[in-house]
Amino acid sequence: MAGESDYGAFTEKFIIQPSSSPDQELPLKGLTFAVKDIFDMEGYVTGFGNPDWARTHSAATTTAPAVLAMLSGGATCMGRTVMDEMAYSINGENKHYGTPKNICSPDRLPGGSSSGSAVAVAGMLVDFSLGTDTGGSVRVPASYCGILGFRPSHGVVSTTGVIPLAQSLDTVGWFARDADILNRVGRVLLQLPEVEPVKPTHITIAEDCFPLLSIPNHRVTSVLVKSVEKLFGGHIVKYACLGDYVKDKVPTLKHFKGDRLENQEYNVAPLAALSSAYRRLERSEFKNNHGEWVSTIKPDLGPGISERVWAAVRSTDENLDVCHSVKTELRAALTALLGDHGILAIPTVPGLPPKLQTEPPTLETFRFRAFSLLSIAGMSSFCQVSIPLGTYDNLPISVSLLAKHGSDGFLLNLVETLYGTLREQIDIAQELSY
């Protein structure tokens, strides 16, 4: 258990040196990293955020390939980080190990489930960190903590040696404070060659999604648009009503109409239906993976997570074919919208980080709203990056960029190209007190 000086980010601190020779020139040489407590590391029990899980499982006999890749790339591991229990939350709270401190806003949630990994980077305890992202577990804490977070295309980074939440949605993601390190880590994990950045053909602003924000949406969109105009010209900025497009191109979503939050004013109805499909798939796969253990052990779980876990375990068999059809249709639809070098811009989350001790019903409502946005990448298998855009009302805000499945290198390069100009525009926006 880490102390206050570590902002509560770590469950265990230790040092594992790089597996390479110190005089080798490697892409991650000299960098330090932390690892979410969901990755197997030889000789350590993978805790999955819960003491009952740790108690009933043995130490790992091998190390997850994603962790080995970081060590082989020249980075030094500094320990394992706190996570939400069983990775089944986006809040960042853990009743057993404590809630890691949000450095940007100490009275706010850090976001989860990769909470400790995000806080370790935001608190400058490490240069980068590994997390996992199924429904938003890298993107959300990156947004709340004011750092970069990358969810890769589904299936492009090995999840071997990572405890599954829902395999058809799980990804290994990572955090960094600057775009250069984010890119370097990505190129090692994705085994990508160094290539010249490719200019985007268009950046499409999902104009129906930004009004979901609980802050003035121009504070987010104007920074992005002005940066793009400065670098590439305004002609590449496009606008689309994403909900209407998805409704038209993903007909199987009609099976998910009638979600209890679908028609509320803060949601885009087709995206709310998409999040319903996402939740059905996640719930079923979670039950298949962990239902027997939960039913047998009856673990001590925190509020919110306990209800979600038991609801999944008690759920009946559902028609998952329709969920997979939604995934197939959405991936084809967004691929057609973006093409090889197009970008989709959406909010990462629907507003500012919620306060600590927020009432559970309020958090659940925020969660439903968030998944209307977060499910887009999850159900399309696209890559997504959350980029910090400074603060509003002294709280961190962000924007997300998505690119088609397999375009991870293109997206990482674009973030690095954009980042300096974005910082300039953020400074201007904050001086104008948007």
Give the active site residues: 36, 113, 137
Are 81 and 9 contacting, i.e. CB atoms less than 8 angstroms apart? Answer: yes
Spatial separation of the C-alpha atoms in residues 164 and 424, rounded to whole Å: 40
Using N-to-C axis directions, what is the helix angle for 321-338 and 242-249, rounded to 10°?
120
Closest CA to 97 of 145, 57, 37: 37
Closest CA to 225 of 197, 204, 210, 211: 204
Q: Which residues pair with 110 in a beta bridge?
A: none
**Distance in Å from the first CA to the final CA of the chain:** 41
Tell me whether strands 342-346 and 202-206 are parallel, antiparallel or unpaired.
Answer: parallel
Spatial separation of the C-alpha atoms in residues 402 and 134, rounded to whole Å: 15
The residue with tokens 């160094």 is: 194
- All residues at 6 or more sequence positions from 198 whose CB lies less than 8 Å from its CB, including other chains: 341, 410, 413
Are 34 and 83 contacting, i.e. CB atoms less than 8 angstroms apart? Answer: no
Are 414 and 343 contacting, i.e. CB atoms less than 8 angstroms apart? Answer: yes
Half-sphere exposure of residue 348: CA atoms within 13 angstroms, side-chain side: 34
Which amino acid is located at 115 in the chain?
A: S
Task: Give phi and psi for 57, each to the nearest 5.
Answer: -130, 150
Are 103 and 38 contacting, i.e. CB atoms less than 8 angstroms apart? Answer: no
Ordered DSSP codes for 131-179: EEESSSTTHHHHHHHTSEEEEPPTTSS--TTB--S-TTT-EEEEEESSH
- All residues at 6 or more sequence positions from 339 whose CB lies less than 8 Å from its CB, including other chains: 201, 404
Beta-sheet strand order (sheet of 10-16): 10-16, 76-81, 32-36, 128-133, 171-176, 148-151, 383-392, 395-403, 342-346, 202-206, 237-240
Tokens linked to 188: 């090692």
